[in-house]
Amino acid sequence: MGTETDTATGGWTDAHDRPAARRTGRRLAAWCTGLLFTGVSVVVGCRVADSDGITPVPQLLAFLPWLLVPTGAGLLLTVLARWWTGAVWGVALLGLLAWFIEPYGKSGEPTGPPVAELRVLTSNVEFGQGTGALVSAVRREKPDIIFVQECEYTCAATLRRDLAADYPHRQAVEGGGSEGSVILSAFPLEATPGVRGTMGMPGAVADVRGHAVRLQLAHPMPPLPDQVDLWREELDALRDAAAEDRGTPTVLAGDFNASQDHAAFRRILDTGLRDAARLTGADRTVSWPARTAPAFGVQIDHVLVSEDFAAHRARFLDLADTDHRALVVDLTLHAPEA
């Protein structure tokens, strides 16, 4: 019964080979699943521990929601492998990923009376290459305050020439390549020391219709494999700047090279600042890389505001010749509650 032999060779027939092949296939599926789940577990474990870990964890944390894909694939493999312990492992990972995909940070509306409306735009123009597209976007969107990153010398000169009439006030860190940054404003500005970093991060205080508003541009180093410590230090410096004066309405905007899935970025939110995109329901909208947005990518360009502001609308703009999408946010400044 089921033990037929091939009379020509004396070997077993396929009736006996198939069960062995199925067992081998199941073992292979289980091994592949284990490798997938181990990699995802390391990243999720750092998220649970509120840590950014070491390379490659910080880079993978930026794409945390996309880890649902290998986890889902692993779950299918556990069914094929009939590995029920692995299935429980996969379901636990899916649950944790779903939990952490939820928006992070405070929300809510200011309770004091509204005193001023303003529109803020932030854009990384990739070594100045997207300057022309930015100028067109500014003329179309008419923001009141503009934060520009990677604005090298030619970019700075172009903005001065083309936008000075509408934005006579500026605070800049001059530099080549990715080092230059500028804040342009329709409101008067008073310079502040800004935040020291590898790339320019100028600061200022704007007089918004008689109300002082702190402005700080953000552009820390990206978490490249050999620069994770520097990336973390510069995000910590931004956190310290955000925390030093909580009594003045604040706008902290730019390319943070970090998402809400990074512990170093969440510590900035823990100072009481709120992500304007999150407040308007756009917290997972992709801003980088522009070539694959909005289908794939991560939101690393942010406008963070103190609790004095209400955010009404956030829009991500596709600009030519830059790998970042610009972000435009409409804000209302509220006076402190009487």
pLDDT confidence of residue 24: 76
Torsion sign over Cα 257, 260, 264, 269: positive
Residues facing 189 on adjacent strands: 206
Q: What are phi and psi of 219, to 5 degrees?
A: -160, 70
pLDDT by residue (tens digit) across 154-207? 999 999 999 999 999 999 999 999 999 999 999 999 999 999 999 999 999 999
Cα 117 to Cα 104: distance, rounded to the nearest angstrom: 26
| pLDDT band at residue 89 using 50, 70 and 90 as cut-offs | very high
Element (H, E) at 27: helix 14-48
> Quick one: which of 232, 230, 221 has its CA closest to 51?
232
**Which pLDDT value is given to residue 14?**
57
Q: What is the per-residue pLDDT for 8?
A: 44
The rounded radius of gyration (Å) of the Cα atoms in the chain is 26
Q: Residue 337: is its pLDDT beyond 90?
A: no
* Model confidence, pTM: 0.91
Q: What number of other Cβ atoms are within 10 A of residue 220's Cβ?
A: 27
Asked if omega into 65 is within 30° of 0 (cis), the reply is no
Q: Residue 276: which of 302, 243, 242, 299 has the closest Cα?
A: 302
308 vs 81 pLDDT, higher one: 308
Q: Is the peptide bond before 202 cis (omega within 30 degrees of 0)?
A: no
Other residues' Cβ atoms within 10 Å of the Cβ of residue 24: 10
- CB of 239 within 8 A of CB of 265? no
Give the tokens for residue 205.
């205080």
**pLDDT tens digits, one per residue of 269-278:** 999 999 999 9
Q: In the chain, what are the domains?
A: 14-101 (no CATH), 114-334 (3.60.10.10)
Q: Where are the alpha helices (DSSP H) in 66-147?
A: 68-81, 84-101, 131-141
Q: Which two tokens stand for residue 330?
A: 């409409």
CA atoms of 317 and 109, how far apart (whole Å): 26
* 92-136 residue pLDDT tens: 999 999 999 999 988 888 989 999 999 999 999 999 999 999 999
What is the side-by-side strand order in the sheet with 189-192? 189-192, 203-208, 211-218, 250-255, 301-305, 274-275
To the nearest whole number, what is the mean pLDDT of the chain? 93
Q: How many CB atoms lie within 10 A of CB 214?
A: 21
How confident is the model over 13-50, as pLDDT tens digits? 455 567 777 777 678 877 888 999 999 999 999 999 99
1 pLDDT more than 60 = no
Mean local confidence (pLDDT), 56-80: 94
